[in-house]
Amino acid sequence: MQGERSLHIGIIMDGNGRWGTQQGLSRIKGHTAGAKRVKEIVKYVGTTGVTVLTIWAFSNDNWKRNKKEVSALMALFGTYIQQEADELYSSNVKVLFIGERKSLATKLQKAMNDLEEQTRNNTGLILQVALNYGGSDELIRAVSKMKEENIEVSKETIADALDTADIPDPDIVIRTGMPASEGKLSLWRSSGFMPIQSLQSVCVSTEVLWPDFTSEHLEEIIKYAKLETRLFGGQRV
Domain boundaries of the chain, sorted by first residue: 7-226
| pTM (predicted TM-score) | 0.89
Q: Tell me if residue 62 is catalytic.
A: yes
Specify the pLDDT at position 46: 85
pLDDT digits (tens, 9 = 90+) for 94-141: 999 999 999 999 999 999 999 999 999 999 999 999 999 999 999 999
Query: How far from the centroid of its chain's Cα atoms is residue 22's Cα?
Result: 24
Mean pLDDT of the chain: 89
Q: Which DSSP symbol is given to 153?
A: P
Does residue 235 surpass a pLDDT of 80? no
Specify the pLDDT at position 183: 55
Residue tagged active-site, from 61, 62, 132, 171? 62
Q: Which of 199, 211, 152 is nearest to 14 (CA)?
A: 211
Specify the pLDDT at position 184: 59
Environment class of 35 (CB within 10 Å of its CB; exposed 0-12, middle 13-18, buried 19+): buried
Run of H or E including 135: helix 135-148
- For the chain, report the end-to-end CA distance as a whole number of angstroms: 18
Residue tagged active-site, from 14, 60, 163, 171? 14
The dihedrals phi and psi of 107, each to the nearest 5 degrees, come to: -65, -40
Dmax over CA atoms of the chain, in Å, equals 54
Q: Tell me if residue 14 is catalytic.
A: yes
Q: How confident is the model at residue 2 (pLDDT cuts 50, 70, 90)?
A: very low
Burial of 137-172, coded b for 16+ CB within 10 Å and e otherwise, reads bbbebbeeebeeeeeeeeeeebbebbbbeebebbbb
N residues, the chain: 237
Q: What's the one-letter identity of residue 74?
A: M
CATH fold group of domain 7-226: Undecaprenyl pyrophosphate synthetase (3.40.1180)
> Residue 119 and residue 121: Cα distance in Å, rounded?
6
Does residue 176 surpass a pLDDT of 90? yes
Q: Percent of the chain scored above 90 by pLDDT? A: 78
